Structure 1
Amino acid sequence: MASTTFPDAAPGRHFRRLDDGRIECRVCPRLCKLHDGQRGLCFVRAAEGGEIVLTTYGRSSGFCVDPVEKKPLNHFLPGTPILSFGTAGCNLTCKFCQNWDISKARAFDRLQDQASPDAIAAAAEDLGCRSVAFTYNDPVIFLEYATDVADACRARGLKTVAVTAGYVEPAARADFFAHMYAANVDLKAFTEGFYKQLCTAALAPVLETLRYLKHETPVWLEITTLLIPGQNDSDDEVTALSDWIAETLGPDVPLHFSAFHPDYRMRDIPATPATTLSRARRIAQAAGLHHVYTGNVHDPEGGSTWCTGCGALLIERDWYDLGRWHLTPEGSCASCGTVLPGVFEAAPGTWGRKRLPVRLSA
């Protein structure tokens, strides 16, 4: 039955009907309990007719071809172009959101582009992209749209990437990531206090998502932590975060430390100094992590990939431009043969730092 309150909506998955007549959305740990006509905190999932509907199916806040390194993914098809898009809304309320004009949108004027899943996959193929990224806002909240796009991409030989905070319920998590080839999970901090005070969320479900991805799926996983001065950048917290990744996920999961810039509701905090990122990188390396990167700063050493066997430079990066490439076609160090974990092709892509906005038609 077509939606009347939300005329462009599509049927949702992962909900249950409660005895009091409300509908409980079971996509994320918020478990929003909604009366008919109400929206969840994410704004895009709503209750109607005894079920949850997705009100943003087929609508996007924009499309752009980016370098895959911008997701950031450094061990997944380096140098190749990726078609990126998002919708609107978010299931977190981060006061430091760097994409707040999209993720915090509460009106559909942000959703200017409309496209079917097959139109997106066809456009990515026509543009020479190797993959499609669900990004800008968290894709778990538009799970039904994202997974349909992923299926259309798979049919054309394209891979799909999720850029997510990992705040998702177990059943929805399994459904969503079954359609993904790679993910960058935003591990925002390593304390429950940070998640509660700055995101109105919880750390534990995110850690469970990371465990799940690493140990129960073939999805290639990388992690990003945005370091905010005075909030999550202490030596103790960086050490605890790095130790947990090394012990629970293993030393080969790439970790990106990214620089904060004042935005949204945290404009009174200064930008992260490059020295903070370099210090965090050293701490993580001392904890045993093999591939630790710095982001949002100009740091060729911290942005490049190095061999854990002989120390050779494997992939040289200057921002998003690739330089020297010292991998065999099989993805091993050309000097000592040590395998570099990740998803690689015989030669690097040449997309570089270009950013190409795209308009799609339905």
Structure 2
Amino acid sequence: MFYQRKEKGRVFCGLCPKGCTIQEGQRGFCRVRENRGDVLYTLNYGRVSACALDPVEKKPLYHFCPGSLVFSLGTLGCNLKCGFCQNWQIAHGQPRTRILSPGQAVDMALEQKSRGLACIGLAYTYSEPFMWYEYVYDTSRLAREAGLQNVLVTNGYIREEPLRKILPYIDAMNIDVKGFTDQYYRENCLGKLGPVKRTVEIARQECHVEITTLLVPGLNDSPAEISELTDWVAGMSRDIPLHFSRYFPNYQFDLPATPEETLHRAYRIAGEKLNYVFLGNLGDPATQHTYCPRCKFPVIQRGGYATDTSGLQGKICLKCGQALELII
């Protein structure tokens, strides 16, 4: 989907902002879209590198069906190349895969549900799901027909047309905003910030959206940058959950882990303008709870992936009666 034939046997891929022009027999930047005889083929359709039944909080999604499970699956390939990638073995390597058709994936999710487990649907995650576009598109439509929900965990690096085409079948997204400067994206991810911001702004009009930013010491963690990110999110809605995650050395990066105080500082800065800010990879339960924006009562408490929603009656704070913006 989303390609055009050019002169001299080349094809233009219009799926993501990379805009690769691909010669005969060659692949795009993502490694999973190949020109064969002036036809662009997806090489990873149905190829699953990992699947598991995960807590929805692991995505992380904290305000979408809290306490539930989601059948999660991923493939290989990515259209960014972040030096700190935590899933580089499947994003940029050659992992073993198994074939799973869209129908089989939906049946596996339904099977979990039939066993009495709190499985709400499917999550397309682990690697970049937009580089699995055709498979995710087909599977998400089948899942919707079967009464299941669809979740994307994505870098948000997608063009507007394919984004709008798939959004009617997506119920929730966690979008990685890697940093909040174009320089950071260019130097550390081989991408641009603008398309990711556009994805967030469009998606939040159509489905539940949460944002994650991995704070890398000295590169995207300054108070000024955190303030700019916070202002942008708050300009859309104070109720969008923002997750700051702690970086650890991985892939091509050997910088020391993010200091805990850096994350707590970001938590304080963002908390001045946003109702829901969370810290990940830190092990501090107090920064993982959802607090009522009016009375600050912990309406949802989290410890690891254990979730306690007893502070709520539906979407209402039991202490003060404030309604919270949640998908239950």
The DSSP-based 3-state class of the residue aligned with 1:143 is helix
- Between the aligned partners of 1:44 and 1:178, the Cα distance in structure 2 is 25
The DSSP-based 3-state class of the residue aligned with 1:66 is strand
* Correspondence for 1:161: 151
The DSSP-based 3-state class of the residue aligned with 1:293 is strand
Amino acid in the other structure paired with 1:169: R
Q: CA deviation at 1:337?
A: 2.3
TM-score under structure 1 length normalisation? 0.87
- Between the aligned partners of 2:136 and 2:96, the Cα distance in structure 1 is 15
> Is the 1:315–1:324 contact (alpha carbons within 8 Å) kept by the matching residues of 2?
yes
The counterpart of 2:247, out of the listed 256, 260, 272, is 260
Amino acid in the other structure paired with 1:273: P
Amino acid in the other structure paired with 2:270: A
* Correspondence for 1:203: 193
* Correspondence for 2:280: 295
1:25-36 matches, within 5 Å, as 25-36=13-24
Per-residue CA distance 1:43-90 (angstroms, 9 max, x = gap): 011112322211111111011111100000000011111111111010
Q: Does 1:334 align with 2:318?
A: yes
* Correspondence for 1:354: none
The counterpart of 1:182, out of the listed 151, 172, 178, is 172
Provide structure 1 residue ranges, at least 5 long, that are not aligned to the other structure. 1-12, 345-362
- Between the aligned partners of 1:69 and 1:75, the Cα distance in structure 2 is 9
Q: Between 117-126 and 316-325, report the one with greater CA deviation.
A: 316-325
> Is the 1:140–1:168 contact (alpha carbons within 8 Å) kept by the matching residues of 2?
yes
Amino acid in the other structure paired with 1:295: G
> Is the 1:140–1:176 contact (alpha carbons within 8 Å) kept by the matching residues of 2?
no
Q: Does 1:270 align with 2:260?
A: no
Q: CA deviation at 1:178?
A: 2.5
The counterpart of 1:145, out of the listed 135, 141, 147, is 135
Per-residue CA distance 1:318-340 (angstroms, 9 max, x = gap): 121113521112x1212222221
- Between the aligned partners of 1:274 and 1:313, the Cα distance in structure 2 is 22
Structure 1: which 4+ aligned runs deviate by more than 4 Å?
Answer: none
Q: CA deviation at 1:226?
A: 0.2
> Is the 2:67–2:308 contact (alpha carbons within 8 Å) kept by the matching residues of 1?
no
The counterpart of 2:294, out of the listed 302, 309, 314, is 309
1:1-362 matches, within 5 Å, as 13-105=1-93, 107=94, 110-128=95-113, 129-215=119-205, 217=206, 219-247=207-235, 249-267=236-254, 269-286=255-272, 288-323=273-308, 325-329=310-314, 331-344=315-328
Tell me: higher relative CO, structure 1 or 2? Use CA pairs within 8 A at least 6 residues apart: 1
> Is the 1:87–1:111 contact (alpha carbons within 8 Å) kept by the matching residues of 2?
no
Per-residue CA distance 1:280-300 (angstroms, 9 max, x = gap): 0110011x1100000011111
Per-residue CA distance 1:12-49 (angstroms, 9 max, x = gap): x0111223431000010011101222110100111123
Q: CA deviation at 1:244?
A: 1.1
* Correspondence for 2:116: none
The DSSP-based 3-state class of the residue aligned with 1:82 is strand
Per-residue CA distance 1:122-181 (angstroms, 9 max, x = gap): 111111221211111111111000111111211221101000011111111112322210
The DSSP-based 3-state class of the residue aligned with 2:7 is coil
- Between the aligned partners of 2:91 and 2:247, the Cα distance in structure 1 is 17
- Between the aligned partners of 1:324 and 1:118, the Cα distance in structure 2 is 33
- Between the aligned partners of 1:257 and 1:201, the Cα distance in structure 2 is 20
Provide structure 2 residue ranges, at least 5 long, that are not aligned to the other structure. 114-118
The DSSP-based 3-state class of the residue aligned with 1:265 is coil
